[in-house]
Copies of this chain bind each other. A is one copy, B any other.
Amino acid sequence: MSQADLRLSKNERMNGQLRFSAEIDKMTSVYRRTMLVDGSRRENDAEHSWHIAVMALLFSEYAKEPADIGRVVKMCVVHDLVEIIAGDTFAYDSTANRDKAQREQKAADILFGMLPEDQGRALRALWEEFDAAETPDAKYAACMDRLQPFLHNTLTEGHTWKEGNTDRAAVEKRMAILKEWMPEVYGWMSENMDHAIEMGWLRP
């Protein structure tokens, strides 16, 4: 079944909220490149979004400026919603990243358009703030969005890096926001990159 089978209430506003709630369950079938820590399968967007939301409760002490963790956690849980329609764009795929912004804006029109206008606007604003990565909250959320798959890669013998024949420069570019915003965490990452190169998981 799908959200189309939803039995409606008399409240049109609530119907939009229920429809949207059913629709976003599709996040469980948007698969990412990253493997689960146990290596059993790829993770999906729902799992990834949850994981970075919990991590956001833990690492703020390393960020250059304080963040409002409640807002960051909200950002984390909505930051990939548009991928229900636009699909996941692999971070190291430069071709797909060219039209990513356009695809995602169109997806946002459809998806957030399912909600009562005020709520659609609020969720979209959170997602756009995340995507712009300019405010302290968004920068910190973006760091969690990079740190989590990095952690998974280190624990799955560089699965995604090997698969993409990735080199250190590409990972450094992707992780640049941590170098800027969370230098101590980046120090740990840099040592892991050295190790990954030694192990042949990452090209020098």
Residues of B within 8 A of A119 (CB): 57-58
Stretch at the interface among A2-10, A92-100, A160-168: A2-10
Give min CB distance, A70 to chain B, whole Å: 2
A89 located at the interface, meaning its Cβ lies under 8 Å from any Cβ of chain B in the complex = no
* Separation of A72 and B49 alpha carbons in the complex (Å): 16
| A142 at interface by CB-CB < 8 Å | no
Question: Which residues of A are in contact with B by a Cβ distance under 8 Å?
Answer: 1-3, 5-7, 9, 11, 14, 17-18, 20-22, 24-29, 36-40, 43-44, 46-47, 49-51, 53-55, 57-59, 62, 68-71, 73-74, 77-78, 81, 115, 119, 122-123, 148, 151-152, 154-157, 184-185, 187-188, 191-192, 195
